[in-house]
Chain A
Amino acid sequence: MASAGARTRAVAAEVVDAVVSAGQSLDAAIAAHEGKLPPGDRSLLRMLSYGVVRHQFRLQEWIDALVSRPFRKRDSVVNALLAVGLYQLRDTRIPDHAAVSQTVEATRALRRPQLAGVVNACLRRFGREDLASVPARSEASKWNHPAWLIERLRADWPDDAAAILTANNARAPMWLRVNTARQDVADYARRLADAGIGATSWDGVPGALRLAEPQSVDDLPGFADGDVSVQDAAAQVAGPWLMAAQPRRVLDACAAPGGKTGHLLELDPGIALTALDSDPERLGRVSENLARLGLDATIVAGDASKPEEWWDGKQFDAILLDAPCSATGVIRRHPDIKLLRRDADIDALRALQRRMIDALWPLLQPGGRLLYVTCSVLAAENDTLVKGFLETHDDAVEDTVLHNNNIRDVMRRKACGYQVLPGTAGVDGFFFACLVKKVS
Chain B
Amino acid sequence: MVLRVAPEIMAKLKILEFPDPRLRKKAVPVESVNDELRTLIGDMFETMYDAPGIGLAATQVDVHKRLLVADVSPDKSEPHALINPVIVEKDGVTVTDEGCLSVPGYYEEVERAEQIRVRFLDRDGEEREMEATGLLAVCIQHEMDHLEGKLFVDYLSEAKRQRIRKKLEKERRHTAVVM
Whether A101 lies near B52 (C-beta < 8 A) is yes
Q: Which label, helix, strand, loop or mixed, suits the secondary structure of the B interface?
A: mixed
Given contacts A2-B98, A4-B99, A102-B52, 19 further A-B contacts (CB under 8 A): A1-B98, A1-B99, A1-B143, A2-B52, A2-B100, A2-B104, A3-B52, A3-B53, A5-B52, A6-B52, A10-B105, A37-B97, A95-B75, A105-B51, A105-B52, A114-B171, A114-B175, A114-B178, A114-B179
Is A7 among interface residues, defined by CB-CB distance under 8 A? yes
Question: Which residues in B have some Cβ–Cβ distance to A below 8 Å?
Answer: 50-56, 70, 74-75, 96-101, 103-107, 138-139, 142-143, 167, 171, 174-175, 178-179
Q: State A7–B107 Cα separation when bound (angstroms).
A: 8
Which B residues lie within 8 Å of A114 (CB)? 171, 174-175, 178-179
Identify A111's interface contact among B51, B74, B97, B167, CB under 8 A: B167
| Chain A count of residues within 8 A CB distance of the other chain | 22
Which B residues lie within 8 Å of A113 (CB)? 104-105, 171, 174-175
Is A117 among interface residues, defined by CB-CB distance under 8 A? yes
Q: Name the residue of chain A whose CB is nearest to the CB of B138.
A: A1
Is A109 among interface residues, defined by CB-CB distance under 8 A? yes
Inter-chain contact total with CB atoms closer than 8 Å: 73
Whether B74 lies near A1 (C-beta < 8 A) is no
Q: State A95–B49 Cα separation when bound (angstroms).
A: 13
Question: Which residues in A have some Cβ–Cβ distance to B below 8 Å?
Answer: 1-7, 10, 37-38, 95, 98, 101-102, 105, 108-111, 113-114, 117
Whether A1 lies near B179 (C-beta < 8 A) is no
Q: Name the residue of chain B whose CB is nearest to the CB of A38.
A: B97
Which B residues lie within 8 Å of A95 (CB)? 75
The contact sample of 25 A-B pairs, CB cut-off 8 A, is A1-B70, A1-B98, A2-B52, A2-B98, A2-B99, A2-B103, A3-B52, A3-B54, A3-B99, A4-B97, A4-B99, A4-B107, A5-B52, A6-B52, A6-B99, A10-B105, A37-B97, A101-B51, A108-B105, A109-B104, A111-B105, A111-B167, A113-B171, A114-B174, A114-B179
Known: A2-B51, A2-B100, A108-B104. A117 touches B179 (CB 8 A): yes
Identify A109's interface contact among B101, B105, B174, CB under 8 A: B105
Least Cβ–Cβ distance between B46 and chain A, in angstroms = 12
Which A residues lie within 8 Å of B54 (CB)? 1-3
